[in-house]
Amino acid sequence: MKHFLSILTVLLLVSCAPIYVNYDYEEATDFSKYKTYQYFGDMETGLSQLDTKRLLDVLDKKLQENGFTISETPDVLIDIKSVEFRNAQRETIGVGVGGGGGNVGGGVSIGLPIGQNAMSREIVFDFVDASNKQLFWQAKSESSFKPRATPTKREERFAAIVDKVFKAFPPKRR
């Protein structure tokens, strides 16, 4: 029973793959002056067309919830880039052989990889002041990625990423 609970706990932790986000911004920026946005016309997200549409739909909804409106004469230009990569193999099973007698001992152990390398995706959100073309806010998210996920699961994952990314937008003044 102990082993079953241990395995169940590990599976639950792995299935709730975390989303990591790093932020950077220009401290002198007055975020209250930004009310409208538009995407860069030549934006290449690194996502498929369908995934780009899913991400932009989720992002539009989140920005509108935060009081932004899309405009042909925006205050903010948004650029999004992403890259997919394989994580290093972390899961291994240790196999060891040892022996000894008296004052002599010895041992050999090796780690055998289990499973496959997990896929991850980094998505970078750049907010650029439309008047002076200067970057003023950036968020980099990193999370697990399942290439064979259903469209619904993909949209849910993008929604979770956008929620986490915009949890700290605009940054709080210190």
pLDDT tens-digit series, residues 59-77: 999 999 999 999 999 999 9
When pLDDT is averaged across residues 101-112 and rounded to a whole number, the result is: 58
Is 141 in contact with 169 (CB distance < 8 Å)? no
pLDDT of residue 52: 95
* Assessment of whether the complete model's pTM goes beyond 0.75: no
Residue found under tokens 């299935």: 15
Q: How do the domains of the chain map onto residue ranges? A: 18-87+114-168
pLDDT tens-digit series, residues 8-63: 443 343 445 789 999 999 999 999 999 999 999 889 999 999 999 999 999 999 99
The length of the chain, given as a count of residues: 174
Using the 8-state DSSP alphabet, how is residue 72 labeled?
A: S
pLDDT tens-digit series, residues 136-160: 999 999 998 788 889 999 999 999 9
> Which pair of tokens denotes residue 68?
């932004």
pLDDT of residue 8: 41
Question: Which CATH code fits 18-87+114-168?
Answer: 3.30.160.670
Q: Is 134 exposed, middle or buried (0-12, 13-18, 19+ CB in 10 A)?
A: exposed
pLDDT of residue 6: 45
Three-class DSSP category at 171: coil
One-letter amino acid for residue 167 of the chain: K
pLDDT of residue 94: 58
**Phi, psi dihedrals of residue 144, rounded to the nearest 5°:** -70, 160
Angle at 27 between CA 26 and CA 31, to 5 degrees: 80
CB count in 10 Å sphere of residue 35 = 12
Which helix (H) or strand (E) segment is 120 a member of? strand 119-129
pLDDT of residue 10: 39
Per-residue pLDDT at 122 exceeds 80: yes
> Which pair of tokens denotes residue 160?
């979770």
